Structure 1
Amino acid sequence: MKKVFHKIFSSTLALLVLFSTVSFTVEKHYCGDVLVDVSMFTSVEKCAMENMEVLLKMNCCKDEVNVVKGQDELKLSSIEDVKLAPLQFATLYVYTYLNLFKEVEKQPIPFNNYSPPNLVANIQALHQVFII
């Protein structure tokens, strides 16, 4: 069960890194106020008015390009790169030092009022068994 969770978690993190670094472009072509074509991976198809604009010198068609940029730089670090700042170290030292001398709460003794049973006979002397 632990291995399955580990594989799922590592696969999820790998996909997260992949999708955070992917960039893509969305191109849109408008003819007047009407959206003619949208494309993500190929160039957009121009409308028939585009050819006439060259002849008539009117600008009724326009292209809109939206770029969704992914993360370009990934920081790879190792254990040797991890350093505690002196202020963090001092804070941790003071915190642990103060908690070192904290008083422990007094625990209740559950059998404090218990009295042992009365002895009918001294069994050790009766059986002649003595601790030496």
Structure 2
Amino acid sequence: MKQFFHQIVSSLMALLVLASTVSWTVDKHFCMGRVMDISFFSHAEDCGMEAGLALMENDDLKKSCCADESFTMQGQDDLNLAWQDLDLEHQMFLVAFTSTYVDIFVPLEKCPVPNEQYPPPKLVKDIHVLDQVFLI
């Protein structure tokens, strides 16, 4: 369960870093005040009204009822942190935390058994059968 939770948290953190560093562009096409198309990362398709208006001969009627709106969210570019940018206290904390965290996962040679030197008692009679006490 702990390993599964650790995998989920690390995946969410990776997605958070990815989402914060990528630039997002949302492009919308409106026709008569209604949203006709929404596009991410590219230009939204028009509804075809502008092609029809281009064929009209009257300049008064050529007013376009369509509008395009674009929204761009810039991602972070300053993610390069150097070891020298940290204070001495932060460097000491990171070194201490890393060394203790790595030492947690060092496997033991053999698990210590507290009563290894004491032999088990010799069974002369089966006590459970004599007393007729059974686990159900």
- Provide the TM-score with structure 2 as the length reference: 0.48
Which has the larger Rg? 1
- Provide the TM-score with structure 1 as the length reference: 0.49
